Amino acid sequence: MESLDKLRFYELTLQERGEYLRQETGLTESEIDALTGLSGLTPAAADKMVENAVGVYALPIGIAQNFIVNGRKVWVPMAIEEPSVIAGASYMARLARSGGGFFASTDEPYMIGQMQILDIADPANARVKLLEHGAELLSEAAKIDPILSELGGGPRELDVRLIENSPIGPFLVLHIVLDVRDAMGANAINTACERLAPQVEAITGGRVHLKILSNLADRRLARARVSIPVNELAFDEFSGEQVRDGIIEAWAFATADPYRAATHNKGIMNGVDAVVIATGNDWRAVEAGAHAYAARGGTYTSLSTWSKGADGELDGWLEMPLAVGTIGGATRVHPGAKAAIKLMGVQTARDLAEIIVSVGLAQNLAALRALATEGIQRGHMTLHARQVAAAAGAEGGLIDAIANRLVQEKNVRIDRAKEILKELKN
């Protein structure tokens, strides 16, 4: 088959795309089947994952094209029900190639565990005592998970915060920071918090109430940047300058208005979540972390930044917490997730986060570019029309025929789709 660069992946049939993956990637037949849903997660496996299982729930999975992250070409599996997202990411990744692709980095995989310490007569004094015993607590924590320590992870820091005002009065919060290596880390953190609690109670004389990780994983940030030459941005009647400035104006709206910022960040999460889900990671954790981080300054704002570079290019930047793993949990149990991780060629959780944050930035660019120029509906319309045609009962070639008519008529409605279907069948 032709090389991917020359080939328009979206023009292949479903079967051809599977065949293409078989030829071009290192995935085995059964891994491709797991990824594409021909095999994958079985109801019997699901029964071992959750309670009261009755089966499995499927989502479309597609492969975003054109991504270069830190100089490496990557296949990006995305599990998502929304049309236009995978196409948008692929198109922006293609534009990004002219500036070298995406450049991403991550912090060490540090997760924070919290212990809420109540019933202390003198919280300020208890805080000092805890800090005095910091080294002791950390070495105790290191004994909890020797395998993690062998892999180079383990406890790193301890911090004690005094919450002065709360509905139940003042109390202390102990933070333990753990390097969780390639795991998402929830189990390691929660275990450490639970195991340290008696010692913390002995030191403070208080009662350790909650013992749980924080999803505001701001010690585990991922960041990506992209730079697009201004001429690459031009299309149809829009000049590159118009597109660039329109994107910066759209971003400015999100920085200043939480109503817009929520939608702006939702667009970022379209890309982030799709990869997080495809790789079997906890997307609720990533969502919670992203939005809490977006509000860290006291006002909810944009996670990304867009500006005009020295040579007139469009520069973009995204930074957010990304607690994702390549080992443990569903990443190792779900056959499709395992295949997705292999497809991406990532060795570590940090590699994975670097790709995910790049996809988030690409997705944000796709949304802002559309919003700042032709509007979002045009791109959405064709795919949406196909869904409407299928919902109206069309099959095979009729789906595209009806979808095209609906778009031409600018009337993407199921009643109209049914009428056209009847007409075409007759």
Binding residues (CB under 6 A) for ligand MEV: these are 82, 263-264, 266-267, 270, 367, 371, 376
User: Residues 5, 16, 82, 423: which is the catalytic one?
Assistant: 82
In what helix (H) or strand (E) does residue 267 lie, and over which residues does it extend? helix 258-278
82 as an active site residue: the answer is yes
Name the minimum Å distance from CB 378 to ligand MEV. 12
Nearest distance from residue 368's CB to ligand MEV, in Å? Answer: 6
Burial class of residue 423 (count of CB atoms within 10 Å of its CB; 0-12, 13-18, 19+): exposed
**Has 282 been annotated as catalytic?**
yes
Residue 199, SS3? Answer: helix
Query: For residue 368, which amino acid is it?
Result: L
Nearer to ligand MEV, 155 or 379 (CB): 379
Choice between 264 and 338, CB closer to ligand MEV: 264
Give the separation between CA 394 and CA 45, rounded to whole angstroms.
Answer: 34
Comparing CB distances to ligand MEV, the nearer of 81 and 136 is 81
Least CB distance from residue 371 to ligand MEV, whole Å?
6
Alpha helices in 279-396 (DSSP H): 283-294, 330-333, 335-344, 349-372, 377-391
Structure tokens, 269: 């999460």
User: Of 170 and 375, which CB lies nearer to ligand MEV in the complex structure?
Assistant: 375
Which candidate in 282, 313, 351, 354 is catalytic?
Answer: 282
CB of 265 to ligand MEV, least distance (A): 8
Q: How far apart are CA 145 and CA 23, in angstroms?
A: 41
Q: Which residue is nearest to ligand MEV (CB)?
A: 267
From CA 338, how far away is CA 331, in angstroms rounded? 6
Nearest approach in angstroms of CB 385 to ligand MEV is: 17
What are 197's two structure tokens? 């609690």
Q: How far is the CB of 54 from ligand MEV (least distance, A)?
A: 29
For residues 344 and 334, give the distance between their C-alpha atoms in angstroms, rounded to a whole number. 16
Which residue in the list 266, 315, 319, 418 is annotated as catalytic? 266
Instruction: Please confirm, yes or no, whether 380 is among the known catalytic residues.
Output: yes
In angstroms, give the least distance from the CB of 270 to ligand MEV.
5
Judged by CB, which is closer to ligand MEV: 87, or 192? 87
Instruction: Report H helices in 37-122.
Output: 43-49, 85-97
Cβ closer to ligand MEV: 101 or 267?
267
266 is catalytic: yes
Shortest distance, position 304 Cβ to ligand MEV, whole Å: 10
CA angle 84, 294, 255 (to 5 degrees): 75
CA 217 to chain centre: 14
> Please, are residues 113 and 381 in contact by the beta-carbon 8 Å criterion?
no
Residues 6 or more apart whose CB falls under 8 angstroms from that of 396 comprise: none
Label the pairing between strands 221-228 and 171-179.
unpaired
Among 211, 334, 342, 380, the one annotated catalytic: 380
Nearer to ligand MEV, 238 or 253 (CB): 253
Structure tokens at 225: 């940047």
Integer angstrom CA distances of residue 215 from 70, 163, 306, 319, 354: 27, 18, 26, 16, 18
Toward ligand MEV, which CB reaches closer, 186 or 385? 385
H or E element, residue 177? strand 171-179
Tokens standing for residue 242: 């118009």
Nearest residue to 62 via CA among 46, 49, 43, 81: 81
Phi, psi of 160 (to 5 degrees): -125, 125
List, by residue number, the catalytic residues: 82, 266, 282, 380
